[in-house]
Structure formats: C-alpha cells, structure tokens
Structure 1
Amino acid sequence: MTETEGPAHKKDMSRRRVVFAGGAVIVAAGIGAGAVASASADEDTAGAKKPGGGQKSGGGQKSGGGQGEECYRLTSETTEGPYYIDADKIRKDITEDKEGIPLTLRLKVIDSDTCKPVAHAAVDIWHCDALGVYSGYEAMSSGGPGGPGGPGDGGTPPTDAPTGPPPSGGPGGGHSEPTDDERYLRGTQLTDEHGYVEFKTIFPGWYQGRCVHIHTKVHVGGKMTDAGYEGGHTCHTGQFFFAESAVLDSAKIEPYSTSTTTRTTLTEDTIYDRSGVTGGLMKLSYRKRHMARGVIGSITTGVDPDGTHDGTDL
C-alpha cells in the first residue's frame, strides 16, 4: 500500500508554531576531512516559501536559540501517515540488525516561543527500511521484495532525474492497523536537560509516492512507567527529510542499489514544503566515498509545548 499524504495546510500561527533550525553537525569517528556536509542551503532554498506565500527571507526568524542557532515561526506540522504504532519501545538503537547505511540521528527540541530546550520530552521516530518496508506493515508496504515496484518488479532504478509525480489515489494519511508483530526502525527516547536526544538507526530507503523521510512525534507532560511513556499530549507531528544528493549517494550502495521501486524526488514530494531546513530538511555529514561507514543527521525541532498536534488536525 502506498502512503500518499496530502500537503500540510497552513493554520493559525498563534497555535501552530513549529520551527526547524539546522542543528550543528558534530564530527564523529570516521567522519572528518573530506566529509560531505549537506544542509538546507544545498536543497530547495531558491524559491523556498514562507507562510502566507512569497519568498523566504531573514525577516521570518528570531534569535535566542543559542550561539549559531536561529528560530523560525514556521508551520511544519505534517500528517501522521498510516504506519504509526505507539509501541513504547524506549531505546536508542532501533536497527534490530536491519541492513543499511548506519545513521546517527541527533535531535534537539526547543520551545518555539523562548528557544529554550524542552527537557524530558518523549520523541518518537519511525521509518521504512532500506527497501521501503515498514515494520508492522510488511504485507502492505509498497517497497521491498513482494511489494509493487520492489526488486525484480521491473520498476525504475534510481537516477538523478525525476521519476514522475506520486501516484494518485491510495489510502491517504489515515491510520492503518498493523499486519504483523515486527517493530524494527521504531523507537522513543526522552530528551535530556538540554533538549537533546540521539538515535542509532539506518538511512531510510524509498517507496512509491514518497521521498526519503523519517516520521517523528514529540510528546510532553507525560511520565515514564514500567509500560513505557504514558500520559501527556502530542505537541508535534512532523517529518525529517534528506537532501537529494545524499539519497543518490545512498542509491549506489547495497541494499539500496538493488531497489527498482519508482522513486519520488524531494521536490516532487507532496509533504515536503520546499522551505529547506524550516520544513524538516536535515543537515547531513558523511564521507562521500565511504558513505557506507555511516552518516550523521542533525536538526533542531521547535515546538509549542502547550499545543496539541497529533497529525489529525491538518
């Protein structure tokens, strides 16, 4: 089943303030001299739009987020999509031995009004595997073996050229019930006192109708119990996106290179709003000739802790 989700609609800024600012890339072992730094400046900044139309400009930002960090009053909420599972798996490493390029995901959550870090927020992430398959929905996913456009299906190998617009129809952004008990590439963590959280995962693949992305939710006001994170409310539902150049680099590496699933590019995607980092485009760092060794992705997510945005209010 193809996940086709309509574009996020702009709403009242007083209650829908979500900001994204480029998180600082932290140089780690294996990523140093000769690394590729892929940020919002590399993708879609020409013609990026700010709320209300018009071209993006520096006037839409406010300072106060710390040295070298900017805060934006921009709406970047998205639909939840059909594949969310409230699994309460509190863990840093969500790979479960899935094959793919190692991805270290470094996130910071801040209050969009004050730019102060939001401590003890529960951050969910979930995404497909290297061949476009979601855990819990293996029988419904449109990528991977057995899925439409999967390996051997005669689809279009990835190129740097657009492969066509997302298909029409499909299930929309409504939730679908899981078809299996798998829960790989899903997890939740609490932010520390400085608003930071880090996940170990893999670089996602692609499936028909969507560009490469990671889903996220931020919950506040709850507490940890033996059963997981309970109570509170969801103050943000969004997605993180990957520069097209990085996706093309990943497509040269197995198992991504074995996929023949029709690929939707970043600019074709109906969810990404083309506003660069303010729309969820992450900053990535990796060594171009050795991408298989790992990628670091980072972004700062600003939320309205008093708001409720569960992905159904769009």
Structure 2
Amino acid sequence: MYPALLTLFPLLLAALAHKEAKTPEEKEIQRSLRNAAYHCAPAVGDFTSARKRAFAQRALGQTGQPSLPAYDELFAQETLQGIDGPDGDFLNCAPVQDTQIENNTCVLAPEVTEGPYYHNRGHPIRQNLAEYQDGLLLLLDIGVIDVETCKPVPNVLVDIWLANATGHYAGHPDPAPHLVTEQPQVGGKRSGLLSAFPRTNDHETFLRGAWATDRNGVAQFTSIFPGYYTGRATHIHTKVFPEWTLHPENSTFTAGRLAHVGQFFFEDDINMAVDKMFPYSQNPIRDTRGRTRNWRDSLNIFDDSHLNNYNPVFKTHLLGGVISQGVIAYITMGVNMSASYPNYWQG
C-alpha cells in the first residue's frame, strides 16, 4: 500500500496540509496520511546520530573523559557543521521502508495540555536554564522536523519549562493558603493531582527558557533532570513558536504564532535511579505519596503523548561512566509548521 500512497501523497497533502480538519472523517484522513507517509526513519535517524556524535564529542572531549568546556564552546555553531553531507541530500527523506515507527520518524507530535505553570511573559531567551538549582546535569538536544516536508526546521523558537529536583516550578512555591491541607484526587482522570499552586514569586525564572533552532533544526539546553510532584510522571513541557518578538533589553520574548504544545518524558528506569540521588531524595512526597510512574500519569497525558505513533520519551545516554556525572537526552519533534494554536492554558 505504501508505494501507491506515496504516489498520491503529494496531491493529497497539497489539498489537506493547509486545510483545517473539522469532521471526524477529515481528521482520520489526515491522521492516516501522516502515519503512512511520514516514515523518514533513515534520514531522521542519521540526523539524530550525527547530533549525538557531535554533542558527545563536544561534552566528553577527545579522551572520552567527562568534562564540560566553556559554555560558549559547548554550544558553538560548528558543533553540528557538516552533518548534512557534501551531496546535500543527507537529510532528505528516504523511500518509505518497512520499519518500526519510533520518535526518530517524521510523525506528528501530539498536542497535549500546557498545564497551569506556563508563564506567558518573562521566559528568558537562553540555553542554560538551571540558574542556582541543584540536581543531576541534563544536556538536552531537541530537534524539530516539519511533518509537511520531513526536513529539519531552522530558526523556530523551542520554549521549555520543568519542575526542580523537589517538584516545584519557578514562581509557584506553595499551595494557596486555603488548600494547604488539600489531599490528592482519588480515582478518575485527575487521580493523584492537587490544585495548581498559585504564582506568588514573579521574579523566579529557574528551569524556564527558550532558544531558536540552528540551521540544522536543533535547539540545545543545559538543565538539571526534572523532579516529580503528585499525580504526574516526570516530564518536561515544550512549545514551538515559528514567530516571536525578541526583547533585547531583558532577553525575553513575546510569543507569536504557536505551532505545537507538547510534553517530553523519561524511561521509568532512569527516573527511579535519579530518585536515589541528592537532592531528589529530599522530595517532600518521596515517603508518602511517592512518584507517579509513566503508566499511571494523570489526565492520560503520557498515553496521549503517544498518539500518531509518536514516541515522546527521550533517548538518554550517560555523559560519563556513571549516572551521577550527567545525562544527554535526545528527541525529535514532528511539528506541523502551518498550525496555529491559542497560547494560553485552556484547563
């Protein structure tokens, strides 16, 4: 069926790619087209492999010993130079092959809730998110692929935010006074969740930031591994903006068109290993409610993030010989760069 579909695909895509699917039938046609035709695993796999090699060489050095060079050097543009190869077709989509769909295929990343902890204003333009937060070093390598072309997208803003080692978001340290003794929801889709903590510290920005993809469609960040809080699996939030306005006076931005809202996850095995490390071991709910495993994530967010056969789980590698020396995490998002979504929490 694939060769026949590929023959028809350019015509169908031209008709449907820029048309909003409204009826269940139209949505199913678009979903089927993407699932069947956006299998660019060989090209995107090579894309990811080249990023891994370059990033690891930069972070580990020629001797393979873990060390971090100067920050500017770590993220120098030449880190990824030449990965598109001399013939210029390194990143082109290969013919559809009989292969498993993984996160390194050109499938549409599902839209999921942004949650209540996004700040519409004040997210800094920066690659180093950690500020003075203590935790396991986490280097993030996030690629953006346009599902309409199956090619990496340069100069789109990748915005991310995450909880610190003890499960708190910048600006939201405490529950509302009347909810201090609130207990988590029992049963239902909101099982394990508490009401959102209000924003009471407007000046806090730790573990929040945005950076534009480079010419190879990659945004890289330095962070710490996120902590967990009741009801939710360990995750990192993301938004992708093809359009934005930079404010040089304070290195923040005003969002323009929003093309994607998603969440990233980690394998439960690495989550459990990090739990044993300081300061994650100081999480106040460690010995009471404990962490929520991926398969029990409230609101079905972990499961919903797998729609379209997309894999929202980072591929992780140890920066050194043991996990305490840090982790590099890779993921590639398939984004419909023609999409436009409201940039606020819809509950």
Normalised to the residue count of structure 1, the TM-score between the two structures is 0.69
Contact 2:167 2:227 in 1 (8 A): yes
Does 2:60 match 1:29? yes
Does 2:161 match 1:133? no
SS, match of residue 237 in structure 1: strand
SS, match of residue 240 in structure 2: strand
CA shift, 1:289, in A, is 6.3
SS, match of residue 233 in structure 1: coil
CA shift, 1:302, in A, is 1.2
Alignment of 1:103-252 (within 5 A): 103-140=138-175, 167=191, 170-171=194-195, 178-180=199-201, 181-226=203-248, 228-230=252-254, 232-252=256-276
Does 2:263 match 1:263? no
AA at the equivalent of 1:108: G
CA shift, 1:220, in A, is 0.8
Q: Which has the higher helix share?
A: 2
SS, match of residue 87 in structure 1: coil
Once the two structures are superposed, residues 161-193 of structure 1 have per-residue CA deviations (whole angstroms, 9 ceiling, x without a partner) of xxxx96366448xxx752112110000111111
Instruction: Report the counterpart of residue 5 of structure 1 in structure 2.
Output: none
SS, match of residue 128 in structure 2: coil
Instruction: Report the counterpart of residue 137 of structure 2 in structure 1.
Output: 102
Measured in 2, the distance between the counterparts of 1:95 and 1:131 equals 14
Instruction: Report the counterpart of residue 112 of structure 2 in structure 1.
Output: 78
SS, match of residue 313 in structure 2: coil
CA shift, 1:29, in A, is 1.3
Measured in 1, the distance between the counterparts of 2:99 and 2:321 equals 38
Measured in 2, the distance between the counterparts of 1:252 and 1:288 equals 18
Work out which of the two has the higher radius of gyration on C-alpha atoms and give 1 or 2. Answer: 2
Once the two structures are superposed, residues 54-84 of structure 1 have per-residue CA deviations (whole angstroms, 9 ceiling, x without a partner) of xxx967859xxxxx95212x45211010000
Contact 1:77 1:311 in 2 (8 A): no
Does 2:312 match 1:280? yes
SS, match of residue 267 in structure 1: helix
AA at the equivalent of 1:189: W
Aligned-pair identity in percent equals: 33
Structure 1 residues without counterparts, runs of 5 or longer: 1-9, 34-56, 63-67, 150-164
Contact 2:192 2:230 in 1 (8 A): no
Measured in 2, the distance between the counterparts of 1:295 and 1:168 equals 28
**For the structure 1 residues 167 and 102, does the alpha-carbon distance in structure 2 shift closer, same or farther, using more than 3 Å as the test?**
same
CA shift, 1:265, in A, is 0.1
Count how many residue pairs are aligned between Structure 1 and Structure 2: 256
Instruction: Report the counterpart of residue 69 of structure 2 in structure 1.
Output: none
AA at the equivalent of 1:300: T
Instruction: Report the counterpart of residue 299 of structure 1 in structure 2.
Output: 331
**For the structure 1 residues 122 and 287, does the alpha-carbon distance in structure 2 shift closer, same or farther, using more than 3 Å as the test?**
closer
CA shift, 1:288, in A, is 8.6
AA at the equivalent of 1:105: L
